[in-house]
Structure 1
Amino acid sequence: MPYLLAAEADKIQDFIFRSSRLREVVGASQLLTRFCRSIDDTLAKKHGGQVVVNDGGSFRVIFDDLAKARAFGADLAELYRLALGGSLTVAEPVRLDGDFRKANEQAGERLRWAKSRRQGAIAEVHMPYVAFCASCGVALARKRERLTGRRATNRSSYICEACRAKAAERDRKPRAILDELYEAYCTSLGTQPTINLDWPEDADDIARLDLRQRNYVAYLVADGNGMGRTFGMCGQEQLTKLSEGLSPILQDSLAAAAASFRNVVSEQAHMIPMIPLILGGDDLFALIPAPYALDFTRRFCLEWERRMKKLADEIGLTDLPRPTVAAAVVICKGTYPYALAHRRAEALLKEAKRQSKLLAAETGEHLSAVNFEVILGNRLAGQEDDDAEHSRIVRLTLRPYWVCDGDLSQNAKERGLEIKTLLDQRLTLKDIPSKRLAELRRCFEDVPTSITIRDRNQTMQTWTNRQLDNVLQRLSTTSRAKLETALTTLGKSRNDSNSDHHWREIRRGDATPFAHGMLDLLESWDFAQDLEYRPDDYEPQEEEA
């Protein structure tokens, strides 16, 4: 009687992010990928197992009998501990009676049960008069040696075995993730791979691509929508092909967006303009350039949709709804801690996924969504989140935005705007003097939000007549006409709905707050370019001082 075993690595992000240097973060991600791929030809073969899934720290393996499955599970957990220094949860094998989908669902339930009831704790050995690792600051150092990398100094540092292995994996040839991604990048560019490729090593390298020389970078997080349902629809062979195809889809989509960026931005032409920190399954965390970051993300989402739809058709998932992905971008200084950027991006991603899920549940329509935030200087992320109560009445943002390769439906428009709309208005308003843009931003930041729903119409009319009009009157006729058009596009026409303001009513769950996208545009001004246009196309021709 065959059995299906499910196993999954614990706290993968803690393992990857435990190092302070991005070189070691990349190495950790590659180390996990190489470990997963090696199981098929090593441990699974030893125990006579048939691998169905072995990617992203997740495993599904079929065995002929229960004893072999249990022995494999024990060896897998121990091998993971020895190779990566972490823990891996193994569920009790499930009998496979011919219905793979049912067995896979039961295996998933047993795995969640095992994770929730994991007992015991793994602690680092502590002794007096020992040194902690200079990179992670958590584990005990094993060696004192000079760190590798182009910015490494000649000084030796104490380093633990785990960080040492991550750093070695980053420079190891062949590289599980970087080499494949570089090949996809060259394919998208239409060039041949070269030996002297130059990957960024840290945020400082990507910050050199900031066109305004202010050292901003962007962190991109993405996750496929409804992937649990997609996996649940798969038979055994479909699940294997889907698991094998997800990482290449991420790689190709990220490479295509990076190639589009490289085609319009020539600075640092020798360097690949992105670095993947986590890339496995349908999960992505990557460091990308801040300029064009929103369109970079939009193009990534569209490419992912296209490739995922192609894969679903190839493996016979004909009843699958339109594949969509949620993405979040955090734009910050290169010195901002990547772990904090990731934490904020995950919160933004959660909101994007929620909006996509609500749209599908309420209308049956499936769209990808993009959320973003610009962190100025080194302030803490999320400090300006809307108050939960007041955001049901007035929201200063339209985020998250939809991603659509065409016109939005009326249902989608009632819930937001397409991200391309924001990019179009960035080009339209490029000639407005920076002084007036600053005044406009302060004007929108001062919108009253602590109001009742009964008074909001009158409050917005008063704000428009007294504050917004004061800014508009200082513009030339041409600039004012462009700004009026943008105010209408990112909100509504001033005289629509028997009201004298541009704030539009949108649907957010069971609430219908007033919202506008102008502040989103002004906050992301330096990063909202369209990759159809070169940087020179955005140089302003100011009409007035």
Structure 2
Amino acid sequence: MEKYLVSLDTNKVKNYVFATNKLKEIVGASSLLAELNEEITIKCAKKHEGKCIFAGGGSALFVFYKKNKAHDFVAEIERTYIEKTKKATIASAIVEIPQSQEENNFIKALNQAEKCLKRKKANNNPSTNLVYLEPYFEPCHHCGNYPIIKHIELNDNDLLLCEVCFTKRSYALKVENENLRPRKYFIDYFSKLNQGLKFPNTLEELGEMDRSNGYIAYIYADGNAFGNFIQKHLDSEEKLTAFSEILKSAINTTIAKSIEPFIQNNKFPFIPVLIGGDDLILITPGSRALSIANNFLIQFQQFLQNGLRDKNLDIDATQLSMSMGVTISHSKYPLLSFHDMSKSLLQNAKSLYQDIYIKSGKQISTVDFKVISSSTSKSLDQIIDGEYKLSKDHWATCRPYPCFEVEGFSRPTFTNLLNVAATLSSKHFPKNKLMRWKDIVYTKESINALELISFGASLKMEEKILMETSTKSLGLATYKNLFFQENFLTTDYFTPLIDLVEIFNFV
């Protein structure tokens, strides 16, 4: 019997979702793509006698037993994407699965489909913007790419939108009113515990839930080398189908458990922007973000392992990890700037993951973060060079952080850092003394010792004891030792003190 693998991948997902700086349009775009990917595509495949292996994160994989059915399915779903989104497109590959007795026929077909998709996506050109062809059209006031076709009156403001932005905004309102995906999972999960829980719908609402004067956080996470893991361990349709269901459940459950301690006044402490495949983007109150991020990264492997065990898959969840970037700033900080900074932080965290994996062979989740207190146009690299690079081999930071201890690795874990900050805060350690301690890091080495003696003399006995305990938890011998030398990945010198002060108001 002939058998065909159909692989789908949405083109330029992030470009479509983040085409504007407006939360409603971003949420609407993400949720609309999720419905297309995880509901409409599956129904369409069934209509054409296809079987779903997985669907999520903008990608999908199906098996068909008739070539014409596979082609009919692809043609219909390509039309559907354009009809529903007015812009987003999807790339497809149809590959015959060999029916020989050789092993790994499924993996061979999967690899072939992946190569075909990469070629198609590389050649995918964005559609021409009518605005540039017809100068007498007024461009959309949000994306600036397409002609205005909708005039909406909202709170004395006129919204003049193109069809693409209007479609996204309309779907966002539907998500809010009907609690569609990705919200639906969390409404259902907590329904037995708390009826009537609601999501905040604006960044201002989230900011009002914060203890730190209207700050919010943008959390961007991604799985580490999940593709390589699939190649090594999931060599059949059945295994890949089971794993995709387990992964989806593990990520959603871990998010739910991570945010549960912070539910107050019948409101969820986050807005889910994107949850699909091994990607997630959440927006949370600033003072909750670091704890939510740490909770997620610490608990993810356990919930994944529980799912693997329940499905009788003999796979060790410690072979999978996540990396994360967290940006904290005021709710009025531009949303696209949040996204770009968190994306850069995520890449930094992934670099640390890669270095640790190469050196130790261990899958360790990692995180990088940045608190932005004023508007800036600087890139993360520029910020690092300007704020944290003291000299060729001295750094006023330990970022990014591992979430678990690594043998021979001197840096503290993210949990260590959060615990020390929480302890100092709960003990009401004077902020001015913490700031003075931080400032000594930036003084010339020749006067460091004198400054530390003066600083020590200003501490009360209980403060001195607290400082000694804290510094040991952070990998420093005493509070008089500002730096430690890293001998695992480099021989440079690092200090966690700047990081500690930066997050002090957000734990």
After TM superposition, the score normalised by the length of structure 1 is 0.83
Question: Residues of 2 paired with 1:403 and 1:144: CA distance?
Answer: 49
Deviation at 1:227, TM superposition (A): 1.0
Work out which of the residue numbers 463, 469, 474 in structure 1 matches 2:453: 469
Written as runs of structure 1 = structure 2, the 5 A alignment for 1:366-445 is 366-380=363-377, 382=380, 383-386=382-385, 393-404=393-404, 408-411=405-408, 413-414=409-410, 416-430=411-425, 431-444=428-441
Deviation at 1:274, TM superposition (A): 0.4
Quick one: structure 1 residues 447 and 296, their matched pair in 2 at CA, closer, same or farther if it must change by over 3 Å? farther
| Unaligned runs of at least 5 residues, structure 2 | none
The C-alpha deviation readout for 1:455-479, integer Å capped at 9, x for no partner, is xxxx4xx453033333232222322
Q: Answer yes or no: is 1:270 the counterpart of 2:266.
A: yes
Question: Residues of 2 paired with 1:378 and 1:508: CA distance?
Answer: 36
Deviation at 1:181, TM superposition (A): 2.0
Work out which of the residue numbers 464, 473, 483 in structure 2 matches 1:503: 483
Residue 293 of structure 2 is matched in structure 1 by: 297
Q: Could you tell me whether the CA contact under 8 Å between 1:25 and 1:166 is conserved in 2? A: yes
Residue 2 of structure 1 is matched in structure 2 by: 3
Work out which of the residue numbers 268, 283, 286 in structure 2 matches 1:287: 283
Q: Answer yes or no: is 1:340 the counterpart of 2:346.
A: no
The C-alpha deviation readout for 1:68-117, integer Å capped at 9, x for no partner, is 32333233222212212212222242434362122212211221122223
Deviation at 1:517, TM superposition (A): 0.7
Residue 103 of structure 1 is matched in structure 2 by: 109
Deviation at 1:494, TM superposition (A): 4.8
Residue 348 of structure 2 is matched in structure 1 by: 351
Deviation at 1:409, TM superposition (A): 4.6
Question: Residues of 2 paired with 1:332 and 1:191: CA distance?
Answer: 32
| Unaligned runs of at least 5 residues, structure 1 | 147-151, 449-458, 530-545
Counterpart of 2:383 in 1: which secondary structure?
coil
Question: Residues of 2 paired with 1:60 and 1:245: CA distance?
Answer: 16
Deviation at 1:170, TM superposition (A): 2.1
Residue 53 of structure 2 is matched in structure 1 by: 52
Residue 318 of structure 1 is matched in structure 2 by: 314
Q: Could you tell me whether the CA contact under 8 Å between 1:246 and 1:280 is conserved in 2? A: no
Q: Could you tell me whether the CA contact under 8 Å between 2:221 and 2:323 is conserved in 1? A: yes
Counterpart of 1:332 in 2: which secondary structure?
strand
Question: Residues of 1 paired with 2:376 and 2:128: CA distance?
Answer: 33
Question: Residues of 2 paired with 1:521 and 1:121: CA distance?
Answer: 44
Q: Could you tell me whether the CA contact under 8 Å between 1:94 and 1:107 is conserved in 2? A: no
Q: Could you tell me whether the CA contact under 8 Å between 2:429 and 2:463 is conserved in 1? A: yes
Deviation at 1:238, TM superposition (A): 1.7
Q: Answer yes or no: is 1:171 the counterpart of 2:176.
A: no
Deviation at 1:47, TM superposition (A): 2.7
Question: Residues of 2 paired with 1:344 and 1:42: CA distance?
Answer: 37
Q: Read off the aligned partner of 1:68 and give its amino acid letter.
A: K
Quick one: structure 1 residues 270 and 91, their matched pair in 2 at CA, closer, same or farther if it must change by over 3 Å? same
Question: Residues of 1 paired with 2:339 and 2:488: CA distance?
Answer: 25
Deviation at 1:493, TM superposition (A): 1.3
Q: Read off the aligned partner of 2:294 and give its amino acid letter.
A: R
Quick one: structure 1 residues 391 and 311, their matched pair in 2 at CA, closer, same or farther if it must change by over 3 Å? farther
Counterpart of 1:429 in 2: which secondary structure?
helix
Quick one: structure 1 residues 130 and 154, their matched pair in 2 at CA, closer, same or farther if it must change by over 3 Å? same
Question: Residues of 2 paired with 1:340 and 1:504: CA distance?
Answer: 33
Q: Answer yes or no: is 1:483 the counterpart of 2:467.
A: yes
Deviation at 1:192, TM superposition (A): 3.5
Q: Answer yes or no: is 1:256 the counterpart of 2:257.
A: yes
Deviation at 1:183, TM superposition (A): 2.2
Question: Residues of 1 paired with 2:450 and 2:13: CA distance?
Answer: 53
Q: Could you tell me whether the CA contact under 8 Å between 1:4 and 1:96 is conserved in 2? A: no
Counterpart of 1:145 in 2: which secondary structure?
strand
Q: Read off the aligned partner of 2:503 and give its amino acid letter.
A: S
Residue 223 of structure 2 is matched in structure 1 by: 224
Question: Residues of 2 paired with 1:92 and 1:54: CA distance?
Answer: 16
Residue 504 of structure 2 is matched in structure 1 by: 525
The percent of aligned pairs where both chains have the same amino acid is 24
The C-alpha deviation readout for 1:204-241, integer Å capped at 9, x for no partner, is 111112213x2111111111222112322212012122
Question: Residues of 2 paired with 1:417 and 1:425: CA distance?
Answer: 11
Equivalent residue pairs, number: 488
Written as runs of structure 1 = structure 2, the 5 A alignment for 1:111-260 is 111-118=117-124, 120-126=125-131, 127-146=134-153, 152-172=154-174, 173=178, 175-184=180-189, 186=190, 191-194=193-196, 197-212=197-212, 214-232=213-231, 233-234=233-234, 235-260=236-261
Counterpart of 2:328 in 1: which secondary structure?
strand
Counterpart of 1:306 in 2: which secondary structure?
helix
Q: Read off the aligned partner of 2:49 and give its amino acid letter.
A: G
The C-alpha deviation readout for 1:378-418, integer Å capped at 9, x for no partner, is 123524214899776112111122224xxx3533x43x211
Larger proportion of helix? 2
Deviates more, 1:362-371 or 1:61-70: 61-70
Q: Read off the aligned partner of 2:475 and give its amino acid letter.
A: G
The C-alpha deviation readout for 1:352-382, integer Å capped at 9, x for no partner, is 1222232222222222112111111212352
Question: Residues of 1 paired with 2:392 and 2:362: CA distance?
Answer: 23
Q: Read off the aligned partner of 1:89 and give its amino acid letter.
A: A
Deviation at 1:315, TM superposition (A): 4.0
Deviates more, 1:84-93 or 1:333-342: 84-93
Question: Residues of 2 paired with 1:432 and 1:121: CA distance?
Answer: 55
After TM superposition, the score normalised by the length of structure 2 is 0.89
Question: Residues of 2 paired with 1:15 and 1:121: CA distance?
Answer: 11
Question: Residues of 2 paired with 1:309 and 1:76: CA distance?
Answer: 34
Counterpart of 1:384 in 2: which secondary structure?
helix
Q: Could you tell me whether the CA contact under 8 Å between 2:412 and 2:475 is conserved in 1? A: no
Quick one: structure 1 residues 155 and 354, their matched pair in 2 at CA, closer, same or farther if it must change by over 3 Å? closer
Counterpart of 1:93 in 2: which secondary structure?
strand
Question: Residues of 2 paired with 1:133 and 1:71: CA distance?
Answer: 35
Q: Could you tell me whether the CA contact under 8 Å between 2:412 and 2:473 is conserved in 1? A: no
